[in-house]
Structure 1
Amino acid sequence: MKKFISSLLAFSLSFCLFGCSSGKASDDSSFSMLDMGYSIPVRDQGPPGACVPFTGATAVEYNIRHTLGQTFEVPPYDLITDMCGVDKEEGYILLAESYTTWAISNEFQIQWALADGYEGYTLVSSPFYISMSCEQKVSADDIKSAIREYGGVMADLNISSPTYMSSFSYYNDNGNWDHEVLIIGWDDNYKKENFGGHAESDGAWLAQNSFGDEWGNNGYFWISYESDVELINSFQMSDEFTEVISHAAGIGFNDDCWIMGIGTGEDTTIANVYDHSGTIGGVGTYVGLYHNDEGCHDFAISPTDITIEIRSADFSTVLYTQEASFDMAGYYVVELDEPVEVSGPFSVVITFHNGNYCAVEGPSDENYSVQSRYVTSIAEGESFVLMNGQWRDLADPSTAEDLGLDEEPRNPYVNVLFV
């Protein structure tokens, strides 16, 4: 009896979602994670402000189910605790437990929490599908490929005052993004008439919301391809790594230029020194950071390359070298073709090519937000940048001055993953 009821519910949901379109096609014109038989529950975030961790948790669950074949629950508030716990000494720190729902306000914060390792899983890939300035975007075909590859794409939209919104269809052409949802599918033939006469062509994204299953169409809705939507990023998790070490505590932004970065020309080479023993299986960092026309750091939606080296702590001996290329900006782990055994002090050296910058922590900000503060530190001998053939310590204030920075940088965003 239970099996029959479950089948009936699944059929009912499928009918509600796809029955309003032209029908499910046999080619690539329509697809969703629901077609795969996955049933990731629709969550209810409750008060406004918690959409990012709730959507992020759902995105991770879809990814683990879709790519690793495992069922795993990610409680949204666990992500907040990992990233912004009141007892933390560095990174984002909540001022009070009551601010929990607003603690994670952007995808970068979730990325770094997952990159640091979460319950046996580690983030190994999180591409950006739009630059922070919104000047560059990927195509609809790229988004479709990302859904198939990762299980979903996080997206920002205007949920409070869209141009048109029904119980199952959404259209907006005025920007003002204020809410995060997860896109888990598409239908090229979803009728334009469903968007109140605003859409000029057929086609829509299938999105899962975080307002509970009584909202919209069982918690899902369709977004016109023509809508103003910020298609942000996806998550790829791995269960192959046992430990992650890093000097960086959490990614931060300033009021003018978002993320902080350092650059020395066509190639920028940085190094982190660690004292640890084990087998290095991968190195993670942000790639594709550049200086845009407004004088701010932004992420480019274009190919880029880096070179990773494992060296002795004094940089004199190269133990391992590997090149890596990426189709677009984001956070990535380069899995080493040959794991490297280390015992005691060693360094990880990364060269960012193509004129790209290295993303680094900014200085502490006690007034980062109403709900949290941002605390960073750097010690002598931890992080370096290569300038004119000389290794310069980022803890030395003169290094920031010679780099032409108004603020002193902290540690580069580099993770070392062990197997």
Structure 2
Amino acid sequence: MKILRSVLLFFAVLFSALITSFPLEAFSVFTRPTGDEFARFRENPPSGRNTAAHPLGYRPSPLDLSHVRPSASLRGELDILAAGAGGAPVFPRSFDLRELGALTPMRDQNPFGTCWAFASLASLESTFLKAGKGAFDFSEWHLAYFAYVDEDPSLPAFTATAPGFGSDPIFDQGGSVFQAAALLARWTGAVAESTRPYQNTSPWPESSRPRASDRAAKRLENVFLIQGEGLLDEEAVKYALMRWGAVSVRVVWDDGAYSEDHASFYNAPESGGGHIVTVVGWDDDFPAANFVAAPGRDGAWIVRNSWGTGWGEEGYFYLSYAEPTLGYPAVFLGGDDTAFDRIYQYDPLGWVNNIGAGGETAWFANIFESRGNETLEAVSFYVPAPDAFLRVEVRTGVARDDPGSGELVSVMEDILGPSGYHTVRLSRSVPLSGGRRFSVAVRVTTPGFLNPVAVESREIGYSDKADAEPGQSFISSDGVSWNDLTTLPGHGNSNVCLKAFTSVSSSGGGCSFGGESGVSGLLLLLPLVPVLWRRRK
């Protein structure tokens, strides 16, 4: 163990040297890329009814994620697995999470446009089962409700418009995995289904209306975004299924592309409406002849829908490997609801945009004021590109407008694999005193991507209620000179996406790198140091 620690420390120092040896540009020009899909959706929203026989419900986020790809750490682990098998293929010809007991029973979103909530929670339920952490049934009703109804003044809802997937002003708004991630990350759930059962009737009864006081059964810890849009990376998604569990994914749905005889789907014309489903396995030998149009190859993903057991093969169908309309495959991973007692945050609407100043490296920070004697245990944030280099600094007794002031009490460095939302446990717990300010500052380097900081911002038609105040979020190019984010042009209502988690009754003493974002990420990247070095040169 001492040797392992020494190796990890050596590479942490090496990566830190590599990062800081490159010149950093001043934050003079910020970019705020908005995805084309969101722009088209905002200009031409759905008509208020589904284009399919069953309800859909995908509403794009403003994010431009065309750059996201499977992480190098994942590729490295695949290479290790193949080498251990004598170079043999890593994956079996078929795989099905149902056979492992790693899926909960089929659900039915009818009659509402809530597929996004069903797919996101199906992944979360599956990963709990896959990890042997128990069987949970989470409430899609609760999640979808608070997406468009303010939970309280500090936890506002996303922008509601004319309902695009039906007539209900709340449950037919549609959504995405990014909205699900934002809601769950801010501790809006995950609530048990028994607390707020889904209502398969419209109008729904007033007695079913969720409450802010509904207690969470579990918490979200990570959302790993495997890639952006396009054909699914077969090795990456197969690996995710085998390691973590079910993977949510966006597909463009058209009933004409579905074969009832074979429960198969291949949308060659790429027409229809957005829908989110859940990949649960694969079959390399599923015949190409079983699709309504020729995909040009055998093989299909086994997919769980949210239209009940009376549709497809008891609710499941086969999706061609060649399907061109897929996007944003994501894995939701959770933890115990008692892991932390308090959350500090300024980004209740989550990841809306990315910002930068023309370089791969930037610092971002939040200043919080402790609400009592407690212990800082972990932080969370989004990384907008894979294989990010990370440094986290915690300071106490900071000035109101300078996150770099005060006493430096905790430093850790790590390398994160997938893009997405990460909860990172500190290498050393930090005692906090009530009424005193503390700061969390993160340096992030995203190789090949020039907008490394994820922010919540006000985007018309999506996050109109995003708000910010001076003295909350800060940006820096060097970790020394800091800019209040609200003072920068176009960012008066923006905050960086950075949360802090504390325990009120912790015994302290520190904890090791934790969860899926810790030592394993460093270990997987050790064989890739020469590759990463070449990329930086």
Q: TM-score, normalised by structure 1?
A: 0.79
Q: Which of 345, 360, 366 lines up with 2:455 in the alignment? A: 360
CA contact (8 A) 1:47 1:101 kept: no
Q: Which of 271, 283, 287 lines up with 2:365 in the alignment? A: 271
Counterpart in 1 of 2:439? 347
Counterpart in 2 of 1:122? 219
1:35-54: CA deviation from partner (whole Å, max 9, x where unpaired): 11245121111135211112
CA contact (8 A) 1:306 1:350 kept: yes
Alpha carbons of structure 1 residues 244 and 87: separation in structure 2 relative to 1, 3 Å: closer
1:75-114: CA deviation from partner (whole Å, max 9, x where unpaired): 1011123433245335325769942223451111100111
CA contact (8 A) 1:261 1:357 kept: yes
CA drift of 1:164 comes to 4.5
Counterpart in 1 of 2:233? 139
Structure 1 unaligned runs (5+)?
A: 1-25, 254-258, 289-299
CA drift of 1:155 comes to 1.1
CA contact (8 A) 1:192 1:201 kept: yes
CA contact (8 A) 1:129 1:138 kept: no
* Whole-angstrom CA distance in 2 between matches of 1:390 and 1:172: 51
Counterpart in 2 of 1:235? 332
CA contact (8 A) 1:86 1:95 kept: no
CA contact (8 A) 2:347 2:495 kept: yes
Alignment of 1:304 onto 2:395: no
CA contact (8 A) 1:306 1:323 kept: yes
* Whole-angstrom CA distance in 1 between matches of 2:100 and 2:186: 29
* Whole-angstrom CA distance in 2 between matches of 1:337 and 1:174: 51
CA drift of 1:407 comes to 4.7
Q: Which of 164, 176, 180 lines up with 1:110 in the alignment? A: 180
Counterpart in 2 of 1:391? 482
Query: Which moved further from structure 2: 171-180 or 90-99?
Result: 90-99
* 1:2-401 aligned within 5 A: 28-86=92-150, 88-89=152-153, 90-93=155-158, 98-117=168-187, 118=189, 119-131=216-228, 134=229, 139-161=233-255, 163-167=257-261, 168-176=263-271, 178-196=274-292, 198-228=294-324, 229-239=326-336, 240-251=339-350, 253=352, 259-263=353-357, 265-276=359-370, 277-288=373-384, 300=385, 302-312=386-396, 313-314=398-399, 315-316=404-405, 317-343=407-433, 344-354=436-446, 355-363=450-458, 365=460, 368=461, 374-387=464-477, 389-396=480-487, 400-401=488-489
Counterpart in 1 of 2:509? none
CA contact (8 A) 1:171 1:223 kept: yes
CA drift of 1:217 comes to 0.9
* Whole-angstrom CA distance in 2 between matches of 1:318 and 1:274: 15
Secondary structure of the residue aligned to 2:289 is: helix
* Whole-angstrom CA distance in 1 between matches of 2:184 and 2:151: 19
* Whole-angstrom CA distance in 2 between matches of 1:391 and 1:122: 32
* Whole-angstrom CA distance in 2 between matches of 1:103 and 1:310: 39
Query: Which moved further from structure 2: 96-105 or 174-183?
Result: 96-105
Code of the residue aligned with 2:136 in structure 1: it is F
CA contact (8 A) 1:360 1:409 kept: no
* Whole-angstrom CA distance in 1 between matches of 2:277 and 2:496: 30
Alpha carbons of structure 1 residues 266 and 231: separation in structure 2 relative to 1, 3 Å: closer
* Whole-angstrom CA distance in 2 between matches of 1:418 and 1:218: 44
Code of the residue aligned with 2:422 in structure 1: it is Y
Counterpart in 1 of 2:520? none
* Whole-angstrom CA distance in 1 between matches of 2:437 and 2:234: 46
CA drift of 1:260 comes to 4.2
Alpha carbons of structure 1 residues 263 and 416: separation in structure 2 relative to 1, 3 Å: farther
Secondary structure of the residue aligned to 1:141 is: helix
* Whole-angstrom CA distance in 2 between matches of 1:78 and 1:341: 34
CA drift of 1:186 comes to 0.8
* Whole-angstrom CA distance in 2 between matches of 1:149 and 1:92: 33
CA drift of 1:379 comes to 1.8
**Matched residues, percent identical?**
23
* Whole-angstrom CA distance in 2 between matches of 1:201 and 1:148: 23
CA contact (8 A) 1:184 1:207 kept: yes
CA contact (8 A) 2:104 2:137 kept: no
1:127-162: CA deviation from partner (whole Å, max 9, x where unpaired): 21222xx37x76211101111222111111122245
Alpha carbons of structure 1 residues 263 and 161: separation in structure 2 relative to 1, 3 Å: farther
Alpha carbons of structure 1 residues 359 and 57: separation in structure 2 relative to 1, 3 Å: same
Alpha carbons of structure 1 residues 385 and 86: separation in structure 2 relative to 1, 3 Å: closer
Code of the residue aligned with 1:393 in structure 2: it is D
* Whole-angstrom CA distance in 1 between matches of 2:421 and 2:256: 31
* Whole-angstrom CA distance in 2 between matches of 1:342 and 1:183: 43
Code of the residue aligned with 1:172 in structure 2: it is N
Code of the residue aligned with 1:142 in structure 2: it is A
Query: Which moved further from structure 2: 213-222 or 103-112?
Result: 103-112
Alpha carbons of structure 1 residues 326 and 95: separation in structure 2 relative to 1, 3 Å: closer
CA drift of 1:210 comes to 0.6
CA contact (8 A) 2:468 2:492 kept: no
For the aligned residues, what is the CA RMSD?
2.6
CA contact (8 A) 2:104 2:135 kept: no
CA contact (8 A) 2:148 2:160 kept: no
CA contact (8 A) 1:77 1:100 kept: no
Alpha carbons of structure 1 residues 39 and 109: separation in structure 2 relative to 1, 3 Å: closer
Code of the residue aligned with 1:73 in structure 2: it is D
CA drift of 1:357 comes to 2.0
Code of the residue aligned with 1:175 in structure 2: it is E
| Larger strand fraction of residues | 1
CA contact (8 A) 2:308 2:315 kept: yes
* Whole-angstrom CA distance in 1 between matches of 2:427 and 2:378: 9
CA drift of 1:341 comes to 2.0
Alpha carbons of structure 1 residues 231 and 246: separation in structure 2 relative to 1, 3 Å: closer
Secondary structure of the residue aligned to 2:423 is: strand
